[in-house]
Structure 1
Amino acid sequence: MRTLFIALLFAATAAAQTHFHHVRPATVTDPARQSYIVLDETIFTRARADLGDIRLYTDSGREVPYVLRTQRAVRYSNWAPARVLNKGTVNGETRFTLDVSVPEYDCIDLDLATKDFVARATVEGADDPAAKEWNNLGSHSLYDFSKEKLGGNDNIRLKAPARYRYLRITISGGVTPDDVHAANIANFQEDKARYVALSAPARIGQRGNHTEVKWETSEKIPVERIAVEVDPADVNFSRDATLFCDERRVTDTDLSRVKLVRKGRQIESESLAIEPYGLQCKSYRLDIFNGDNPPLRILSVKPLMLERRLYFEPKGETAFKLYYGDEKAGAPIYDYAKFFEPADAGQMVQAELKAEMRNPNFAERPDDRPFTERYPELMWVAMILAVGLLGAWALKGFKN
């Protein structure tokens, strides 16, 4: 009886696998650790839009529960206002104290009214505002280049989290005590996003004083970041840029790089990436307005999508098969997904995903449409016969 049950179960599992158009082998090097598969653009192109038709099986035919997770940037920051105390001038430099209301922090955001300046901010910490000795937490550059349209920075990132109740900030160069309006404090932590590069070669051309970059990709693949690589020799620029999706204007931004020395301070900043929200289009166009400046020497433009990981537990198995491409498959519901917690980075391993193949055992699902939808021509025949019979009956009655 047990043998019969196992045979029936295996037959049912094999039948379930036959309705997927595509399959890809995957191997795990350490079957004792949590593993994951990175979904590439091929899977996005072939699978259903919601990815609900993906199934993972062992080579022996056992269905493996999994959970999908997108590797977005995760930022942990709870901004809190800090009271600005004792604003004044010491030896010609602006100095003030912040009364910090959070237990631990590593980021200070200043609200400064000053424009077109470069200054150095020295940060010191103590637990008593009247302390004779303050601990130096480092010096940081503050600047504003509104006139040159090169942006600015009034944010201070400490090298390590601090827990002092009070911070003393001394600013040299251009900022007066009255220009210091407010301050906010946060413990800022970030897990960086992970991306997958798309195979969509970009074409770069010039149209008047505009640089146009065009590329195409499958509309089933989300574009979530566009990385622009500019020749390192091009510095101190800020260009307006507009992104079009299927000729529909979707976002306006600017591309910039600042690298200069002002008042003895080295100023460096760069913003050469665009992060649209999950665009899915066939064609893209990035329009960069150069004004009266020479075009930027663009080396490459790379569309990227966020990395999607399929996490699972190998449980001693090393060989798996990933199936997808079944429009009628229901989305799976696994207990594994409800209680999932990713292992530490060093405790998980990426599975090797091999080339896609057509499912050699593929078979179409039985047609479950109503009989009338499957054979509409029979309905017309039946209707014609019914009309003919009714007509004959009416004609006979008329003669009688």
Structure 2
Amino acid sequence: MTLTTRLFIGFLIGCTLFCGAQIETYNYKRALNEVNDEWHKVALPDAVFGKVKSDLSDLRIYGITKTDTIEAPYLLQVLSEKIVSKTISFDIINKTKGANGYYFTFQLNSEDIINQIHLNFKEQNFDWRIELQGSQNQQEWFTILEDYRIMSIKNETTDFKFTKLDFPDAKYRFFRLLVKQKDQPELQSAQLFKYEITEGSFVNHAIKTMAITDDKKQKATIINLDLEQSVSISQLHIDVGNTFDYYRPLKIEYKSDSIKTEKGWKYSYTTIKNATLNSLEANRFKTSNTIAKDLKITIYNGDNQPLTIKDISVKGYEHQLVGRFTELANYMLVYGNPAARTPNYDIAKFETKIPKALKTLKIGAEQVIIKQKQEKVKPLFENSYWLWAIIGIVILILGGFTLKMLKKS
């Protein structure tokens, strides 16, 4: 066997031992079954999120062959909605007063479809009803929105605005806005859009317990949610049972830390959303992807009576890994390593070349990775009396030599 061959074999053995040692730095693993193509996707189970880093950087796919341990590259995909918003060019050609209120006419500069208009008025406090119409020739008008409500409130405690018009796709050369108001409103600007949204894939998270309390000192309603397990959260929907109009400042937090003191447990919360709970639109609040188990929602009522909360739902985007499997091996997903860093794979630069139709792998049950115990090096003398005895003997021998030297001198 030549020296080169020996070095090569030694290198392979070293790589295998290194990769095997890498797996042991993680705490959990799940088998990935039915790997029979080059590309597959893996849907992350909810139970994984409570055992990984917040940025999911400690996910790895390893494969065990007869002679080696290999790492399969992957892309982490969050299946959130995709939004495309196209601004449409237009001119305001008329501002007139009629029997029912004030009219603003928009003329499009191209033949485009629109489905959303954003209005910006100089007035900061108003509650108006509007009507939106469309026409090709300004002779015959068709109603798009009728008795639509827009509102703006700004004071020391509230800063709320709802002046966005949502409607089905409409293709007209002219659009006419009627503001049903006695005093002339001052429209400072408007934006017309073609708004397209591809819905994301959500996972509904089970709520274990929900506790609602009214804090009279804060003049607030406190809602504590305890989920079944730590999961990735991206949206909350609050269903209010009251039929009267309302707008209340709202804060959403999650429990980020806890400390045990002499008086009991003390919890720290991190804010993930500040918004307004209101009767004008669906109370769906999107948040950045956050891994949490305990949530706290604070609704600031001011001097108003508390609202009746009928139900709350918590959702999160589905997360999946798209992996490339180039060798026959027994593959596994490993996770749970606080020291791990985000991997850097080549496939991230060639995402467009990944096939669209991918088979989802079956993922096995969670297993705890057993660490190899390092043998503890035993001391030469486990009993300290032996050590002291030897030290005593050494002292006696040295003392004897010293006395002999003194007698000779």
Q: For 1:342 and 1:301, locate their aligned partners in 2 and report how far apart those are by CA, in whole Å.
A: 41
The yes-or-no answer on 1:359 pairing with 2:369 is: yes
Q: Which amino acid aligns with 1:212?
A: I
Residues 1:145 and 1:219: Cα distance change in structure 2 (over 3 Å): same
The equivalent residue for 2:397 is none
The equivalent residue for 2:282 is 270
The equivalent residue for 2:128 is 117
Corresponding residue SS for 1:77: strand
Residues 1:168 and 1:22: Cα distance change in structure 2 (over 3 Å): closer
Residues 1:51 and 1:150: Cα distance change in structure 2 (over 3 Å): closer
Q: Which amino acid aligns with 1:121?
A: L
Counterpart of 2:49 (choices 40, 44, 48) is 44
Q: For 2:182 and 2:119, locate their aligned partners in 1 and report how far apart those are by CA, in whole Å.
A: 12
Residues 1:77 and 1:282: Cα distance change in structure 2 (over 3 Å): same
| Contact 2:107–2:175 (8 Å) recurs in 1 | no
Q: For 2:9 and 2:100, locate their aligned partners in 1 and report how far apart those are by CA, in whole Å.
A: 91
Counterpart of 2:181 (choices 148, 151, 174) is 174
Greater CA deviation, 173-182 or 200-209? Answer: 173-182
Identical counterparts, % of pairs = 15
Please list, as runs of the form range in 1=range in 2, the aligned pairs for 1:80-99 lying within 5 A after superposition: 82-89=90-97, 92=100, 94-99=102-107
Corresponding residue SS for 2:352: coil
| Contact 1:112–1:182 (8 Å) recurs in 2 | yes
The equivalent residue for 1:254 is 276
The equivalent residue for 1:240 is 249
Q: For 1:38 and 1:6, locate their aligned partners in 2 and report how far apart those are by CA, in whole Å.
A: 35
Task: Name the one with the larger strand percent.
Answer: 2
The yes-or-no answer on 1:53 pairing with 2:63 is: no
Structure 2 unaligned spans of 5+: 255-266, 377-409
The equivalent residue for 2:262 is none
Cα displacement (A) at 1:108: 2.1
The equivalent residue for 1:398 is none
Corresponding residue SS for 1:43: helix
| Contact 1:224–1:279 (8 Å) recurs in 2 | yes
User: How many residues of Structure 1 are paired with residues of Structure 2 in the alignment?
Assistant: 344
Cα displacement (A) at 1:86: 2.2
Residues 67-90 of structure 1: CA deviation (Å, up to 9, x unaligned): 112334443225466321122246
The yes-or-no answer on 1:76 pairing with 2:84 is: yes
Corresponding residue SS for 2:372: coil
Corresponding residue SS for 1:53: coil
The equivalent residue for 1:21 is 27
The equivalent residue for 1:155 is 164
Corresponding residue SS for 1:139: strand
Cα displacement (A) at 1:169: 0.9
Please list, as runs of the form range in 1=range in 2, the aligned pairs for 1:327-366 lying within 5 A after superposition: 327-329=338-340, 331-341=342-352, 347-359=357-369, 362-363=371-372
| Contact 1:95–1:170 (8 Å) recurs in 2 | yes
| Contact 1:57–1:320 (8 Å) recurs in 2 | yes
| Contact 1:202–1:213 (8 Å) recurs in 2 | no
| Contact 2:128–2:179 (8 Å) recurs in 1 | no
| Contact 1:83–1:182 (8 Å) recurs in 2 | no
The equivalent residue for 1:139 is 145
Residues 1:195 and 1:137: Cα distance change in structure 2 (over 3 Å): same
The equivalent residue for 2:405 is none
The equivalent residue for 2:334 is 323
Cα displacement (A) at 1:279: 5.3
Q: Which amino acid aligns with 1:321?
A: M
Q: RMSD in angstroms over aligned alpha carbons?
A: 4.6
Residues 244-287 of structure 1: CA deviation (Å, up to 9, x unaligned): 455557354322234xxxxxxxxxx322x334445567854222
TM-score (norm 2): 0.65
Q: For 1:42 and 1:286, locate their aligned partners in 2 and report how far apart those are by CA, in whole Å.
A: 24
Residues 1:16 and 1:94: Cα distance change in structure 2 (over 3 Å): same
Residues 332-380 of structure 1: CA deviation (Å, up to 9, x unaligned): 32111221138797x34443433211125x437999xxxxxxxxxxxxx
Q: For 1:324 and 1:223, locate their aligned partners in 2 and report how far apart those are by CA, in whole Å.
A: 19
Structure 1 unaligned spans of 5+: 259-268, 368-400
Q: Which amino acid aligns with 1:188?
A: Y
The equivalent residue for 2:194 is 187
Q: Which amino acid aligns with 1:69?
A: Q
Q: For 1:72 and 1:366, locate their aligned partners in 2 and report how far apart those are by CA, in whole Å.
A: 48
Corresponding residue SS for 2:212: strand
Greater CA deviation, 313-322 or 62-71? Answer: 313-322
Cα displacement (A) at 1:7: 7.9
The yes-or-no answer on 1:204 pairing with 2:211 is: yes
| Contact 1:105–1:188 (8 Å) recurs in 2 | no
Corresponding residue SS for 1:341: helix
The yes-or-no answer on 1:64 pairing with 2:76 is: no
TM-score (norm 1): 0.66
Q: For 2:207 and 2:285, locate their aligned partners in 1 and report how far apart those are by CA, in whole Å.
A: 16
Q: Which amino acid aligns with 1:270?
A: A
Q: Which amino acid aligns with 2:57?
A: G
Q: For 2:275 and 2:54, locate their aligned partners in 1 and report how far apart those are by CA, in whole Å.
A: 29
